[in-house]
């Protein structure tokens, strides 16, 4: 639904009422209170004119946006732009295509809206269609309104100050067929156009003022006002006398003259930026000075519009018939000028919109509320094979073979929701074309229906593309289901787009569950880390990555998997997504773990064997080399094991070995490495220990625990140890094996002494 321009009769009625008001004021004998009424009436008229042109500009901007930017061809290109942000060459190509499409339209619309732009959903500028005005091109970016449109996804309008020039900015969101925000459009109108309108309507000259600091507290700031409130420093931009047609020029004497006219209430209103008016005389010309507050795009008061209207009202005295006659004559003359200029303005606007519609490359038409054609563009005539002089009938079909979808009246369209889209197919020979007809109800500011607007866009290529895409996806799914390993496809935003049947069996989750969830929320790695995520790395560096990870299946079972990631690219080389291949190695991993345990562990005691001690202890040895911290090797031999086995049996010997294992575990820390390195021989590696060697043949804490064991009444045999302790020295020990061998030699020396004694 589009709001149309208000009917001309409204302006004529307004002019007629204004004429009656002038006549009424002329016949009055005015005193000071009568002049006060005139001042208020003047202020009301200026405010009304100012608000009217802003409202009309807003409606014109909405219509311009609907015609130029909200059509399938533009939306399709914007979708392409969003998918090509990482490809500078493709982005440049799509930007040029957009410029080519909009350029011809802009040549017409720039006469009224000299600044138009397109922005990406992240706020960056995509395309600028500004006029060659130097002032407009040098304006800094001020995008509060744009950010609100991107965040709230609704149109936003407001006043902004750009490089010393006030501009009324209109921002609109642009959505694709899936109701996703693809871009934002800006249409801007400099307020010098408003000044031009005020001059044309009322002969009013204007000047913009702004305050350098908040002036809400007026109790102690009269001196500040006297020094600077109307000085040249407070003008937004200075104007020369050559351009004073629309902009008021005040010299110091005139500024002082206005200051001296202020009453105390005027001063308070000035500081609070409230609107007010009073009589004034500039250059020996009587008139009225009005101050109108200006708000920026945030709704904040930033300044005022100072206007001067000369000879707006002529006052009379009692029985002054000559003055009354002159007043009426001037009023009639002003009314005639108003209607003449208004008629010319209306004709200009009608010509403007017709030329804009004619410049569009797709068929556009408009109808009145009686369903009679008002205007069609050249593309419409060409589309329906009509000649330029075609005479549309007022009754029945407007022309032969008129499609049923455009025969709907504005009232019927309003009852259907205010807008509609109809898809139709045209067969020409062996080929067919697909078209979409869009219709919108036109309303004035009173919400009365004035007609409808429609345009026709070709959809053939898009429809063919969707059909080809559906066939390709069906073939792709068949290929994926033939692959025996789990396959998952991600799009360029790392969202799951497809999985195969093997992946469903592998994970336990069905396809519907997976496609509705992110990778981080279902069937995730137990050690999932965004910074180390191989999926993210593949997207960033476009390289192949592979990991071995652990994941929970749908039934809660934990499995070990090998997962590979590879980037997918289009024929043009553009990144298009990621393929993930998953293989379950849980059974293989379990078998390898059991085999490794048998290789490095002692079967009887569960301690490390010599191989395990050397493999794991090598890390301790290297750490001690690097940190220079104490590192010890302890070697133990159980004395009399052969005699024990002969006297009590091998089971008793095995039990003694197990008992000694528990003693070692109670004696040493969890971080120490304990190993059975022979039949009755054990070794221990102490890392970062505060132990100090007092006797290389004794370890006091262990001997104390052995003594407690021997004193236990249930033990039929005693535990006797030979001990060797060696501290690591970088000068003496090249590797761990050499350190352990030295501690072993100390044990053999003790055994030899024991045998000799």
pLDDT of the residue at 665: 92
If you average pLDDT over residues 204-219, what whole number do you get? Answer: 51
**226 or 382: which leads in pLDDT:** 382
Per the structure block, which two tokens stand in for 757?
């004694």
Q: pLDDT band at residue 310, thresholds of 50, 70 and 90?
A: confident
Would you call 699 exposed, middle or buried from its count of C-beta atoms within 10 A (0-12, 13-18, 19+)? buried
209 close to 234: Cβ distance less than 8 angstroms: yes
Average pLDDT, stretch 678-686?
A: 92
**Sign of the alpha-carbon torsion through 173, 177, 182, 183:** negative
Q: Which helix (H) or strand (E) holds 182?
A: strand 181-190
Residue in 67, 60, 78, 70 with CA at minimum distance from that of residue 105: 67
> 623-627 — which CB contacts under 8 Å span 24+ positions?
623/687, 624/687, 624/728, 625/730, 627/688
Mean pLDDT for the stretch of residues 482-506? 85
Element (H, E) at 300: none
What pLDDT was estimated at residue 746?
92
Closest CA to 369 of 439, 443, 437, 438: 443
Altogether, the residues listed in the chain come to a count of 757
Q: How confident is the model at residue 60 (pLDDT cuts 50, 70, 90)?
A: confident
How far apart CA 726 and CA 742 sit, in angstroms, is 7
Query: Could you give the angle at the alpha carbon of 453 between the alpha carbons of 118 and 55, nearest 5°?
Result: 60
Q: Give the model's confidence band at 249: pLDDT under 50 very low, under 70 low, under 90 confident, else very high.
A: low
For residue 217, what are its two tokens? Answer: 């507290």
The C-alpha atoms of residue 397 and residue 403 are separated, in whole angstroms, by 9
- In what side-by-side order are the strands of the sheet with 721-727? 673-676, 681-687, 631-638, 721-727
Residue-wise pLDDT for 451-490, tens only, equals 888 888 877 777 777 777 777 777 877 888 888 888 888 8
- The C-alpha atoms of residue 616 and residue 610 are separated, in whole angstroms, by 10
Whether the predicted pLDDT of 144 surpasses 50 = yes
pLDDT(661) > 90: yes
Q: Any idea which fold 194-316 has? A: Beta-Lactamase (3.30.450)
The residues facing 489 across adjacent strands are 498, 579
pLDDT band at 634 (very low <50, low <70, confident <90, very high): very high
* pLDDT at residue 599 tops 90: no
List, as one string, the DSSP characters of 463-519. Answer: HHHHHHHHHHHHHHHHHHHH-SSEEEEE-TTS-EEEE-HHHHHHHS--HHHHHTS-G
Output the pLDDT for position 383: 81
Q: Domain segments of the chain: what residues? A: 2-191, 194-316, 360-395+403-463, 470-590, 601-756
Is 720 within 8 Å of 750 (Cβ atoms)? no
Residue 433 CA to residue 425 CA, distance in Å, equals: 6
At how many degrees (to 10) do helices 72-82 and 88-109 cross? 150
More confidently predicted of 213 and 751: 751
H-assigned helices in 534-687: 534-541, 586-600, 610-627, 641-648, 650-667
* Percentage of residues in the chain having pLDDT higher than 90: 8
pLDDT of residue 635: 95
Q: Which CATH number fits domain 470-590: 3.30.70.890, 3.30.450.20, 3.40.30.10, 3.40.140.10?
A: 3.30.450.20
Take residue 380 and report the two structure tokens written for it. 């419409």
Question: How many CA atoms does the CB half-sphere of 627 hold within 13 Å?
Answer: 12
58-66 mean pLDDT: 85
pLDDT at residue 57, as a whole number: 84
| pLDDT of 417 higher than 70 | yes
Residue with tokens 């998952």: 488
Q: Count of CB atoms within 10 A of residue 171's CB? A: 27
Arch. (CATH architecture) of 2-191 = 2-Layer Sandwich (3.30)
* Predicted confidence (pLDDT) per residue in 547-576, tens digit: 888 887 878 787 888 888 899 888 788 888
| CATH code that applies to domain 360-395+403-463 | 3.30.450.20
Mean pLDDT of the 677-698 span: 83
| pLDDT of the residue at 695 | 72
Which range has the worst mean pLDDT, 18-22, 149-153, 473-477?
18-22
- The answer to whether 335 touches 47, Cβ cutoff 8 Å, is no
Q: What are phi and psi of 671, to 5 degrees?
A: -80, -10
Cβ-proximal residues to 743 (8 Å cutoff; 6+ apart), any chain: 633, 634, 635, 683, 724, 725, 726
Q: Residue 223: enclosing H or E segment and its boundaries?
A: helix 222-228
DSSP per-residue letters across 334-360: HHHHHHHHHHHHHHHHHHHHHHHHHH-
Please say whether the beta carbons of 634 and 684 come within 8 A: yes
Radius of gyration (C-alpha) of the chain in whole angstroms: 46
What pLDDT, on the 0 to 100 scale, is given for residue 326? 64
DSSP per position, 259-277: HHH--HHHHHHHHTT--EE
With the C-alpha atoms ordered 463, 469, 472, 476, is the resulting torsion angle positive or negative? negative
Residue 158's pLDDT band (cuts 50, 70, 90): confident
Residues 6 or more apart whose CB falls under 8 angstroms from that of 64 comprise: 109, 113, 187, 356
Quickly list DSSP for 126-174. EEE---S-HHHHTPPP--HHHHHHHHH-S-EEEEEEETTEEEEEEEEEE
- Range with the poorest average pLDDT among 58-62, 131-135, 717-721: 131-135
Give kind and range of the element (H or E) at residue 89: helix 88-109
Best mean pLDDT range from 140-149, 256-265, 359-368 = 359-368
**Which one has a higher pLDDT value, 169 or 17?**
169
pLDDT mean over 86-92: 85
Which of 716-741 are b and which e, b meaning 16 or more Cβ less than 10 Å from the residue's Cβ?
eeebebbbbbbbbeeeebeebeebbe
Residues 6+ apart with CB under 8 A from 538: 544, 545, 565, 566, 567, 578
Helix (H, G, I), strand (E, B) or coil at 22: helix
Cα angle 459, 464, 468 (rounded to 5 degrees) comes to 150
Look at residue 214 and give its three-state secondary structure.
coil
Instruction: Count other Cβ atoms within 10 Å, centred on residue 555.
Output: 6
CA atoms within 13 A of residue 437's CA, in its CB half-sphere = 20
What is the helix (H) or strand (E) element at residue 749, kind and residue range?
Answer: helix 736-756
What is the model's pLDDT at position 633?
92
Confidence check: pLDDT of 141 > 60: no
pTM for this predicted structure: 0.36
Distance CA 93, CA 167 (A): 31
Phi, psi dihedrals of residue 749, rounded to the nearest 5°: -65, -40
Q: Give the per-residue pLDDT at 103.
A: 77
Whether residue 4 is predicted with pLDDT greater than 50 in this model: the reply is no
Q: What share of the chain is helix, strand, coil (3-state, %, to 5)?
A: 45, 25, 30
Name the token pair of 273.
Answer: 């930026």
Name which of 227, 116, 238 is nearest 171 in CA terms: 116
Could you check whether 360-395+403-463 and 601-756 share the same CATH topology? Answer: no
Which position has the higher pLDDT, 539 or 589?
539
CATH number of 601-756, picked from 3.30.70.870, 3.40.1010.20, 3.40.50.10490, 3.30.70.270: 3.30.70.270
In terms of DSSP H, where are the helices of 360-387? 378-383
């Amino acid at each position: 639904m589009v709001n149309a321009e208000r009917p001309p009769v409204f302006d004529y009625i307004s002019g007629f009422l204004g004429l009656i008001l002038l006549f009424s004021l002329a016949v009055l004998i005015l005193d000071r209170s009568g002049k006060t009424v005139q001042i208020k009436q003047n202020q009301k008229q200026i405010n009304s004119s100012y608000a009217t042109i802003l409202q009309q500009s807003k409606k014109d901007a909405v219509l311009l946006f609907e015609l130029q930017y909200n059509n399938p061809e533009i939306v399709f290109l914007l979708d392409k732009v969003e998918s090509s942000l990482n490809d500078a060459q493709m982005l440049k190509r799509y930007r040029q295509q957009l410029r080519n499409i909009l350029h011809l339209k802009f040549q017409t619309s720039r006469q009224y809206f000299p600044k138009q732009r397109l922005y990406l959903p992240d706020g960056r500028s995509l395309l600028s269609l500004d006029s060659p005005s130097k002032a407009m091109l040098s304006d800094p970016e001020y995008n509060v309104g744009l950010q609100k449109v991107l965040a709230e996804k609704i149109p936003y309008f407001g006043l902004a100050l750009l490089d010393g020039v006030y501009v009324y900015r209109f921002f609109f969101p642009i959505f694709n067929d899936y109701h996703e925000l693809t871009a934002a459009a800006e249409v801007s109108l400099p307020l010098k156009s408003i000044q031009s309108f005020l001059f044309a309507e009322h002969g009013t000259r204007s000047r913009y003022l702004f305050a350098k600091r908040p002036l809400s507290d007026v109790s102690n700031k009269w001196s500040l006002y006297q020094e600077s409130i109307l000085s040249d420093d407070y003008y937004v931009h200075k104007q020369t006398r050559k351009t004073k047609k629309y902009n008021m020029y005040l010299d110091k004497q005139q500024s002082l003259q206005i200051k001296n006219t202020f009453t105390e209430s005027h001063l308070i209103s000035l500081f609070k930026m409230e609107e007010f008016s009073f009589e004034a005389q500039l250059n020996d010309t009587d008139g009225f000075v009005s101050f109108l507050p200006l708000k920026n795009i945030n709704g904040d008061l930033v300044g005022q519009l100072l206007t001067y209207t000369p000879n707006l009202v002529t006052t009379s005295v009692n029985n002054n018939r000559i003055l009354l006659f002159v007043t009426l004559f001037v009023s009639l003359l002003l009314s005639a000028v108003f209607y003449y200029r208004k008629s010319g303005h209306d004709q200009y606007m009608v010509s403007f919109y017709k030329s804009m519609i004619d410049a569009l490359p797709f068929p556009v038409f408009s109808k009145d509320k009686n369903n009679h054609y008002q205007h069609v563009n050249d593309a419409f005539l060409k589309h329906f094979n009509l000649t330029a002089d075609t005479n549309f009938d007022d009754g029945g079909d407007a022309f032969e073979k008129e499609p049923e979808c455009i025969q709907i009246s504005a009232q019927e369209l309003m009852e259907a929701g205010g807008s509609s889209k109809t898809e139709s197919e045209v067969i020409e020979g062996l080929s067919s074309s697909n078209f979409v007809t869009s219709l919108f109800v036109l309303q004035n500011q009173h919400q009365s229906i004035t007609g409808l607007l429609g345009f026709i866009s070709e959809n053939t290529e898009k429809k063919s593309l969707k059909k080809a895409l559906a066939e390709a996806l069906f073939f792709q799914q068949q290929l994926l289901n033939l692959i025996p390993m789990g396959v998952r496809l991600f799009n360029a935003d790392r969202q799951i787009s497809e999985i195969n049947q093997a992946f469903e069996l592998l994970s336990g989750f069905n396809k519907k569950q997976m496609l509705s969830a992110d990778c981080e929320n279902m069937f995730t790695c137990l050690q999932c880390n965004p910074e180390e995520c191989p999926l993210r790395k593949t997207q960033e560096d476009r390289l192949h990555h592979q990991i071995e990870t652990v994941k929970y299946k749908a039934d809660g079972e934990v499995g070990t998997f090998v997962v590979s990631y590879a980037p997918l690219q289009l024929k043009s080389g553009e990144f298009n997504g990621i393929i993930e291949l998953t293989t379950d190695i849980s059974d293989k991993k379990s078998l390898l773990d059991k085999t490794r345990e048998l290789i490095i562990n002692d079967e009887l005691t569960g301690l490390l064997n010599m191989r395990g001690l050397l493999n794991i202890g090598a890390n301790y040895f290297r750490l001690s080399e690097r940190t220079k911290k104490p590192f010890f090797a302890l070697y133990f031999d159980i004395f009399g094991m052969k005699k024990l086995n002969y006297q009590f049996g091998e089971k008793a010997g095995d039990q003694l070995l197990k008992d000694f294992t528990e003693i070692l575990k109670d004696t040493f820390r969890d971080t120490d490495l304990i190993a059975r390195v022979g039949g009755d021989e054990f070794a221990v590696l102490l890392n970062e220990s505060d132990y100090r060697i007092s006797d290389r043949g004794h370890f006091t804490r262990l001997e104390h625990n052995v003594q407690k064991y021997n004193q236990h009444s249930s033990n039929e045999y005693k535990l006797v140890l030979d001990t060797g302790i060696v501290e690591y020295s970088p000068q003496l020990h090249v590797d761990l094996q050499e350190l352990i061998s030295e501690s072993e030699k100390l044990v053999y020396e003790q055994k030899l002494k024991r045998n000799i004694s």
